[in-house]
Amino acid sequence: MSGVHASFPVTHNTNSQLLSVDWDNLPFGKIFADHMFVMEYANGAWQQGEILPFGPIDMHPAMSAIHYGQSIFEGMKAYRNKDNEVVLFRPELNARRFAESAARMCMPEIPEELFLQAVKQLVATDANWVTNKPGYALYIRPFMFATDEFVGIKPSDNYKFVIINSPVGAYYAEPVRVKIEEHYTRAAEGGVGRAKAAGNYGASLYPAKLAQQQGFHQLVWTDAKTHTFIEESGTMNIVFVMDNKIITPTEDADTILRGTTKKTVLELARHWGIPVEERKVTVAEIIEAAKSGKLQEAFGAGTAATIAPIALIGYRDEKIMLPALETREISLRIKAHLDGVKSGEIADTMHWVQKVC
């Protein structure tokens, strides 16, 4: 699908903040574009959505999302390519994952076409916020939360779906230092780890803060039962390169978020003939490989973080430096390819890019 069908009414923002943006000092996620999309769920159905000037949302003090956490979100990006077109990268995967997160959190699903249409029309409305500055994008944050005004515990009958846009540069300003977490848990089997549920991120803040106090940026989460298998890292999926093979934790368990960037990395690697192993990855093998120099590369893969090289792994009392960034042939090649496809410099032979306007 491509192009926009302008089916949502738009109230234009007459007080654009675009000219006040300092593109050379852009903090991640703190500046917002001029418009937002809002759609309510009531009486068992999604109501007419609309595009409004960006601004505060009214909230009842008993609104159930803030009491019981029925709240999910997505992260996507829009890019401006060399032909001055605004494009999205595999947005259908976000639409599908949003529907899966909704189902897991007992929230109403949004039909994927409706989700995509809302994203596209909003991005088209804020198109002048999409820069072609290399490394920058318009971060798109669709989210849904429960709006019943009721402090009893039950699935809400009412919801709000909102999309906001934020111009961003890099999420991590430098290669990341991660610590393997062996006590706290992000997700347990049977839990909500696969869903992009707000509470997953809230629960990660305290252990992440402890690691940050020790000089790390993020944690590497391990399985809840034994803490011997690697799952994901902070806000990203995690990928390793050993013996010129890509190795990454399998997503069979319902504890790992199914990331678009990681899926793309694996598809690209397979397409290039690089062996890929999606399997259980033990902490022990990664530490052993890192110490012996067998671990060639480690990186996080995520929409916000893109391909984020891991510089150092902390394990118990040890800090193990990973190979110099310039030696990391596979992740550098993948990143260059993805940047090229998004900017239009490299042909989109895998049909990942959808044009917005």
Neighbours of 2 (CB within 10 A): 12
Phi, psi values for residue 14, rounded to 5°: -95, 5
Give me the least distance between CB of 303 and ligand COI, in Å please: 4
Give me the least distance between CB of 132 and ligand COI, in Å please: 21
- Sequence-ordered list of residues with C-beta below 8 angstroms from that of 272, at least 6 positions apart, any chain: none
344 near ligand COI (CB under 6 A): no
Pairwise CA distance, residues 116 & 97, whole Å: 12
Complex with ligand COI: residue 8 or 143, whichever CB lies closer: 143
302 near ligand COI (CB under 6 A): yes
Neighbours of 16 (CB within 10 A): 16
Give me the least distance between CB of 143 and ligand COI, in Å please: 10
Pairwise CA distance, residues 85 & 48, whole Å: 28
Give me the least distance between CB of 29 and ligand COI, in Å please: 7
75 near ligand COI (CB under 6 A): yes
Complex with ligand COI: residue 195 or 283, whichever CB lies closer: 195
260 near ligand COI (CB under 6 A): no
Residues 169-208 that bind ligand COI (CB under 6 A): 201
Question: Which DSSP string do the residues of 174-208 spell out, in sequence order?
Answer: S-EEEEE-SSS-S--TTSSTTS-BHHHHHHHHHHH
Give me the least distance between CB of 171 and ligand COI, in Å please: 6
Give me the least distance between CB of 305 and ligand COI, in Å please: 6
Complex with ligand COI: residue 131 or 306, whichever CB lies closer: 306
Coil vs helix vs strand at 132: coil
303 near ligand COI (CB under 6 A): yes
Neighbours of 4 (CB within 10 A): 20
Complex with ligand COI: residue 303 or 331, whichever CB lies closer: 303
Select the span of 8-16, 95-103, 301-309, 341-349 touching ligand COI (CB under 6 A).
Answer: 301-309
Complex with ligand COI: residue 249 or 300, whichever CB lies closer: 300
On whether the CB atoms of residues 163 and 119 are closer than 8 A, the answer is yes
Residues 31-70 that bind ligand COI (CB under 6 A): none
Q: Residue 9 carries which DSSP code? A: -
The token pair at 34 is 């001029």
Give me the least distance between CB of 258 and ligand COI, in Å please: 12
Complex with ligand COI: residue 28 or 46, whichever CB lies closer: 28
Q: Which residue is nearest to ligand COI (CB)?
A: 75
- Sequence-ordered list of residues with C-beta below 8 angstroms from that of 104, at least 6 positions apart, any chain: 192, 194, 195, 197
146 near ligand COI (CB under 6 A): no
Burial class for 3, CB neighbours closer than 10 Å (0-12, 13-18, 19+): exposed
Q: Among 71, 121, 185, 235, indicate the residue that binds ligand COI (CB under 6 A).
A: 235
Complex with ligand COI: residue 185 or 303, whichever CB lies closer: 303
Neighbours of 304 (CB within 10 A): 21
Q: How many residues bind ligand COI (CB under 6 A)?
A: 7
Select the span of 43-51, 173-181, 248-256, 298-306 touching ligand COI (CB under 6 A).
Answer: 298-306
Q: Among 33, 95, 230, 304, indicate the residue that binds ligand COI (CB under 6 A).
A: 304
In one-letter notation, the amino acid at residue 70 is Q
- Sequence-ordered list of residues with C-beta below 8 angstroms from that of 124, at least 6 positions apart, any chain: 4, 6, 86, 356, 357
Residues near ligand COI (CB under 6 A) are 75, 201, 235, 302-305
